[in-house]
């Protein structure tokens, strides 16, 4: 028997067309390809991405709950894919991942961290129950909450709310040892300037102060009312052209996809709507990863079919990466006169969010989110792989 169970989306596999013969460039996660001369390279790059789908026969959620997420876990799986891409970028860089052992190491990292997808228990908030479909904003908040438990990757996950990216908030998050109010480190009372550099500004070791916590920036957006506004077509496509791109999670109502690029006006995506058996490492900690790579050509859909509710993701390994990303965003806004979100240097003092003060997550319904994570009445485990 096949380890995959066909669902309504996977029945289309036989109908998926190859990339069109077009001179228009193909963009996948910040890398450009030619559909005329690099089809093999395109398929190899897509296959190397981590592909998370529905699973069945995993341990019951909460001990007595479902053993499969078929029909309701697609957005969570898309969250796994965008997080997996961030981990690949963090540990391996933006390359076509060709070595199985490299993929396996990332899969094991995700699998073995209790804070991610196996043993973490989370409260189910008001109005939510096991098996309810999640939107992209909620999944972004879940990823942010879970990332703090991964001490190895040290990812700093920031969810930019209200269509606004605040540069100062992100730099505070990624360089928490810096005192931005004084322009130096809090440990130093009288920093000295020598050759244009601050000397003795921090009590931390020099190698520590030089570090920037790798940034995963998630930006929940609504690009229209019931349909995506055509004015956002080009700004959205520009996101996939940036080297910092992690892709976009979104899709159609109650049907989530992980978008990784575009060709012409078609978005390229990985589809989680196939049910496969849950996979566990064997006794030697070897992780069979064949089912975590999509072996058929990726799916495509016209950009106008996209539900307007999405979350765009970006990864910045260094401060220079983030500064470059900011420059690209401003350039796009200046050239086209329209941006999907606003980029500002700092938040006005009367609008400083609780997130900056490290009090509560940056989520407008903080009380409900707190119950979502902390309720003792009902719990479930984030899905095992």
pLDDT tens digits along 310-357: 999 999 999 999 999 999 999 988 776 678 999 999 976 655 554 444
How many Å apart are CA 97 and CA 78, to the nearest integer? Answer: 19
Model confidence at 260: pLDDT above 70 = yes
pTM passes above 0.85: no
Which residues, other chains included, contact 1 with Cβ-Cβ below 8 Å and sequence gap of 6+? none
Does 384 reside within a domain?
Answer: no
Is residue 380, in this structure, part of any structural domain at all?
Answer: no
Query: Which of 141-145, 226-230, 276-280, 286-290 is predicted least confidently?
Result: 286-290
The rounded percent of the chain whose pLDDT value lies above 70 is: 65
Domain contains 205: yes
> Average of pLDDT values for 27-49?
92
- Hey, which residues does 184 pair with through a beta bridge? 179
Is 26 a member of any domain? yes
Per-residue pLDDT band at 108 (split at 50, 70, 90): low
How far apart are the C-alpha atoms of 270 and 54, rounded to whole Å?
13
Query: How many residues in total does the chain contain?
Result: 385
Q: How confident is the model at residue 283 (pLDDT cuts 50, 70, 90)?
A: low
Does some domain include residue 381? no
3-state secondary structure string, the chain?
A: CCCEECCCCHHHHHHCCCCCCCCCEEEECCEEEECCCCHHHHHHHHHHCCCCCEEECCCCHHHCCCCECCCCCHHHHHHHHHHHHHHHHHHCCCCCCCCHHHHHHHHHHHHHCCCCCCCCEEECCCCCCCCCCCCHHHHHHHHHHHHCCCCCCCCEEEECCCCEEEHHHHHHHHCCCEECCCCEECCCCCCEEECCEEECCCCCCHHHHCCCCCEEEEEEEECCCCCCCHHHHHHHHHHHHCCCEEEEEEEECCEEEEEEEEECCEEEEECCCCEEECCCCCCCCCCCCHHHCCCCCCEEEEHHHCCCEEEEEEEECCHHHHHHHHHHHHHHHHHHCCCCCEEECCCCHHHCCCCCCCCCCCCCCHHHHHHHHHCCCCEEECCCC
| Residue with more model confidence, 246 or 374 | 246
pLDDT at residue 258 in the model? 97
Domain-located, residue 44: yes
Give the pLDDT confidence score for residue 251 in this predicted structure.
92
C-beta separation of 27 from 262 below 8 A: yes
Is 307 contained in some domain? yes
Residue span of the structural domain in which 102 resides = 3-373
- Output the pLDDT for position 93: 78
Mean pLDDT of the chain: 75
Domain count, the chain: 1
Specify if 382 maps to a domain: no
Catalytic (active-site) positions: 74, 271, 273
- Most confidently modeled range among 35-44, 215-224, 294-303: 215-224
Percent of the chain with pLDDT over 90: 39
Residue 365: is its pLDDT beyond 60? no
Question: Is it the case that residue 113 has pLDDT exceeding 60?
Answer: no
Asked if pLDDT for residue 374 goes beyond 70, the answer is no
For residues 34 and 26, the answer to whether their CB atoms sit within 8 Å is yes
What digits encode the pLDDT tens for the residues 125-161? 323 466 667 889 988 988 888 777 777 778 999 999 9
């Amino acid at each position: 028997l096949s380890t995959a169970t066909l669902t309504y989306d996977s029945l289309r596999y036989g109908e998926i067309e190859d990339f069109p013969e077009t001179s228009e460039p193909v963009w996948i996660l910040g890398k450009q390809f030619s559909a005329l001369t690099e089809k093999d390279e395109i398929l190899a790059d897509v296959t190397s991405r981590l592909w998370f789908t529905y699973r069945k026969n995993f341990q019951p959620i909460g001990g007595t709950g479902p053993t499969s997420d078929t029909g309701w876990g697609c957005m969570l799986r898309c969250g796994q894919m965008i997080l997996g891409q961030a981990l690949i970028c963090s540990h391996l860089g933006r390359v076509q991942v060709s070595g199985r052992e490299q993929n396996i190491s990332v899969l094991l990292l995700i699998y073995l961290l209790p804070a991610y997808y196996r043993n973490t228990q989370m409260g189910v908030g008001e109005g939510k129950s096991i098996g309810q479909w999640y939107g992209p904003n909620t999944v972004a908040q879940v990823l942010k909450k879970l990332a703090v438990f991964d001490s190895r990757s040290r990812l700093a996950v920031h969810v930019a709310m209200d269509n606004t990216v605040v540069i100062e908030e992100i730099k505070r998050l990624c360089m928490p040892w810096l005192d931005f109010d004084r322009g130096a480190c809090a440990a130093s009372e009288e920093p000295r300037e020598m050759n244009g550099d601050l000397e003795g500004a921090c009590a931390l070791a020099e190698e520590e102060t030089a570090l920037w916590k790798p940034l995963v920036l998630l930006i929940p957006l609504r690009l229209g009312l019931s349909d995506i506004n055509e004015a956002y077509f080009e700004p959205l496509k520009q996101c996939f052209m940036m080297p910092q791109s992690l892709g976009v999670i979104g899709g159609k109502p109650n049907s989530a996809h992980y978008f990784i690029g575009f060709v012409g006006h078609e978005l390229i995506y990985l589809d989680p709507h196939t049910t496969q058996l849950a996979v566990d490492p064997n006794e030697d900690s070897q992780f069979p990863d064949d089912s975590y790579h999509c072996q058929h050509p990726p799916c495509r859909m016209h950009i106008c079919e996209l539900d307007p509710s999405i979350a765009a993701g970006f990864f910045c390994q260094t401060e220079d990466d983030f500064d470059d990303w900011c420059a690209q965003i401003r350039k796009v806004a200046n050239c086209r006169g329209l941006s999907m979100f606003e980029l500002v240097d700092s938040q006005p003092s009367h609008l400083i969010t609780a997130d900056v003060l490290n009090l509560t997550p940056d989520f407008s319904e903080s009380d409900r989110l707190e119950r979502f994570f902390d309720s003792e009445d009902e719990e479930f485990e984030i899905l095992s792989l």
